[in-house]
Amino acid sequence: MSFTDDLNVETFCQALMERCTQSDAYRRTFNVSNMTDKSVWELSSRYAKKDKVVSRMRELRAEAAEQHKVTRDEVIAELSKLSKFDIRNLYDDDGNLLHPKQLDDITAAGISGMKVTAQKHGRGKNAAVEYIHEYKTTNKDSALDKLGKHFNIYEDHQKAGTGEIHVHFNEQDEKLL
């Protein structure tokens, strides 16, 4: 197979990995200016079934899956951070909102977004601009509930039908907390 063929396969597959349709990936790869949409659709469908394309797509999907792989321990560690989020840690001792770079890891994990709004006061050269910063926090209750379900802390409560909840940790769980 020639260099051009390999380049075409790569271009087509990369477009598919970007969530393009087969027809759009084919349009990116080949000159289709004189083709009807139906022709592009048929040719792209055939091209996508070629062994070289199927093989390269398999490789790219495996690479993507590996890059996005998250372990069970990582999920539990992140949920643990979210469960420990304390809104008081967003402020300094004088009550000023901290810059995101000043936040500790647990507090930063509890932030799901930030909005900065500029508000102009006055007119002309004497106008002052005030920047209003707003943090959006994650749902701590959801994180606690997910951890509770993972560690089966509701099990005794459900069995006994009482208001008491008994928490059970094993050695592996204690390492994560």
Q: What is the pLDDT of residue 50?
A: 96
Burial environment of residue 67 by CB neighbours within 10 A (0 to 12, 13 to 18, 19 or more): exposed
In one letter, which amino acid is 90? Answer: L
Tokens 């102009």 -> residue:
120
Q: What is the pLDDT of residue 86?
A: 92
pTM higher than the cut 0.75: no
Q: What is the pLDDT of residue 175?
A: 55
Q: Give the residues of the chain that fall short of pLDDT 70.
A: 1-2, 156-177
Q: What is the pLDDT of residue 11?
A: 96
Q: What's the rounded Cα separation, in Å, for the pair 177 and 68?
A: 24
Q: Which has the closest alpha carbon to 58: 27, 4, 13, 18?
A: 13
Q: What is the pLDDT of residue 132?
A: 86
Cβ atoms within 10 Å of 106's Cβ, excluding its own? 15
